[in-house]
Amino acid sequence: MNIILFGPPGAGKGTQAALLAEKHSLAKLSTGDMLRNAVGPVGNLARVYMQQGELVPDSIIIAIIRDRISQDDCANGFILDGFPRTREQAEELDRMLHDEHKKLDYVIELQVDDERLIERVTGRFSCAKCGAGYHDTFKKPRKEGVCDVCGGNRFSRREDDKVETVAKRLEIYRSQTAPILAYYQAEATQDALKYAFIDGMRRIEEVMRQIDEVIHVKQNG
């Protein structure tokens, strides 16, 4: 089962991708995480774009995904979180899937109001030691300044989660990524590729339940 999760910054792509990966034993391919973990010249170049809320050049991200999709852990299926983001990336993905004799099963679009997106993204932070995620309003550590999971006392925020950079990321989502949704909607058919709109404003478990329902309906005819 191969899935694309679409949605603007803060829609919950990473959160749902992790849950889906665990539940269905799928590989989670999050391009944002891959770029944040990249080292050397690629990592340095990516950081310049990411800090400004701009997209990293297609050629870099396409090479990373092409390599990743052919790895063994993708044999049972994968979830793309943050890819494709441009028309060129979408067309290149088609070519990669064709070359690998794979196909897409679901394109899932998470829909969330702008105000909520900004609130979610600008308030998030994580434990610098174990990566556990928190939020200024919605999920504070039980004891202030101490990670619930590992007891660490250092926390970090993503460089690109500043209000002005989030606004830029949203603008880029609308201008460069949202237009490719029509590309997948046009491709969708009930028995091959399924396109689903999901209400991402609901609680995390409820969003997961909606996604599971889409998968269940298609798999059971």
Indicate whether 149 belongs to the interface with ligand AP5 (CB under 6 A). no
Q: How far is C-alpha 211 from the geometric centre of its chain's CA atoms?
A: 14
Indicate whether 194 belongs to the interface with ligand AP5 (CB under 6 A). no
Query: Could you tell me which of 31, 38, 44 has the C-alpha nearest to residue 4?
Result: 31
| Contact positions with ligand AP5 (CB under 6 A) in 156-185 | 160, 169
Joined tokens for residue 19: 């849950």
Query: 13 catalytic, yes or no?
Result: yes
Beta strands in the chain (DSSP E): 2-6, 27-30, 78-81, 106-111, 124-127, 133-135, 155-156, 194-199
Joined tokens for residue 23: 């539940």
Query: 124 catalytic, yes or no?
Result: yes
At 44, the amino acid letter reads N
CB of 31 to ligand AP5, least distance (A): 3
Pick between residue 191 and residue 203 the one whose CB is nearest to ligand AP5: 203
Query: 116 catalytic, yes or no?
Result: no
Quick one: CA torsion of 48, 7, 129, 146, rounded to 10 degrees? 120
Between the alpha carbon of residue 86 and those of residues 31, 121, 141, 195, 202, the distances in Å are: 13, 22, 37, 18, 27
d(CA 120, CA 193): 30
Binding characters for ligand AP5, 107-146, by CB under 6 A (x = yes): -------------xx--x--------x-x--x--------
Binding characters for ligand AP5, 74-93, by CB under 6 A (x = yes): --------xx-x---x----
Residue of the chain from 53, 109, 184, 194 that contacts ligand AP5 (CB under 6 A)? 53
Indicate whether 3 belongs to the interface with ligand AP5 (CB under 6 A). no
CB of 80 to ligand AP5, least distance (A): 9
List residues binding ligand AP5 (CB under 6 A). 7, 9-15, 31-32, 35, 49-50, 53-56, 61, 82-83, 85, 89, 120-121, 124, 133, 135, 138, 160, 169, 200, 203-204, 207
